[in-house]
Amino acid sequence: MATFAYGRVSTTEQTTENQRREIEAAGYQVDYWFADEGVSGKVSALQRPQFAKMLGQIRDGETLVVTKLDRLGRDAQDVGATIKMLAARRIEVIVLQLGKLDLTSTAGKLMLTMLAAVAEMERDLLVERTQAGLARAKAEGKTLGRPSKTNDEQRRQIAADYAAGVSVSELARRFAVSRANILGIVKPSA
């Protein structure tokens, strides 16, 4: 039976080579290597091109090795569904981060459930802290978001010129901003 390995990195500046080396250093002879580079962790496992390709090649009863749990999905629900689908095919799933534990085994399923619950709690706490920080910043009068590319005087001039018949494209060139920026000034959304 063959051993498949899968790696993923979020940006094209990164490489999956370290993940491959980590798997081989753990003693696995990788027969087939699949890697999605430049694919965000927010993309579900089945929508990642190389992961989907790997699923088409791996046979029932073979082994899949990854370095970290998040390589198997975008969130606890996605990871759980991926593991369940692989377990139905009797594919052994090894996550090195968890100490060579087969996630399709009984102990592995228990560990996965606990880890998923902790990960979900951490994500919820992060969202709460972010929202609290944003609320505090607003209360302190801080302006949130990207700084404007135009100042108040420029926005008044853009609005006046547009009302006088100057085109959006001409205004964009004149003020060195995008057409969308000009449209946001002359036709603000409600």
Q: List the catalytic residues.
A: 10
Burial class (CB in 10 A: 0-12, 13-18, 19+), 183: middle
The 3-state DSSP class for residue 166 equals coil
Tokens found for residue 154: 């420029």
Closest CA to 23 of 14, 15, 33: 33
CB-based contact 46:82 (threshold 8 Å) = yes
Tokens found for residue 133: 């920080």
